[in-house]
Each structure stands twice: as C-alpha cells, then as structure tokens.
Amino acid sequence: MLVISRKVDESLVLGDDIVVTILAIEGDRVKVGINAPRDTIILRQEIYQAVQDQVKIQELLSKETEPDTFEQLRKLLVSESEIEEKEIKENEKNEEQGKGE
C-alpha cells in the first residue's frame, strides 16, 4: 500500500483522468473530493464489499435451492463477517500506530 500525506487543498492524480483532492479535515474525518469520468464507478469500501457479498449470494442461490446451498451460504456469510471484523481491527490498529508517529 502506498501511503501519501496531503494537506487541505492538495491533490493526488490516479491514472490519467482521476484527481482526488483533500477538501477538509475535521477532527478524525477527512472530506475528499473525487474528479473522475462519469463512467467511473466510485464506492466507499464497505458499500463495495456489500455489493460483492450480494453477488456471491445471488450466484449461490442461482445454482441450487437445495439445503446444502443454504448451508454453504451460511458458511460464506460467517467467514466473510470474520474476515471483515479482522480487517476492521487491523485498520484500527494501523490508525492508532499512525497517530503515534
């Protein structure tokens, strides 16, 4: 992961046509502006993950409607939830380490 420090009104350029600008910093929140082509999909990570989870669920349900599929679905949801919790804890730990520097 590339880590870059930016101040208010400073920007990053991604590729040839996406510009990310820091608009404001208010406490522990950072307001970010993104200038990108209209056909570029921009989602918060938690929304993106929810969409991906829905796709997996739809794929499982479209294959079969047998009880085994529902058991697989339950296992998938539990494993995804555990992975998500681990990532959240890791991000919080990284943020705490970043504050100490």
In terms of Cβ atoms closer than 10 Å to its own Cβ (0-12, 13-18, 19+), residue 18 is middle
Break the chain into its structural domains and give their ranges. Answer: 1-36, 44-89
User: pTM for the full model?
Assistant: 0.56
**pLDDT per residue rounded down to tens, the chain (101 residues):** 999 999 999 999 999 999 999 999 999 999 999 999 999 999 999 999 999 988 888 887 777 656 666 777 777 777 777 777 777 777 777 777 666 55
Q: What confidence score (pLDDT) does residue 66 get?
A: 61
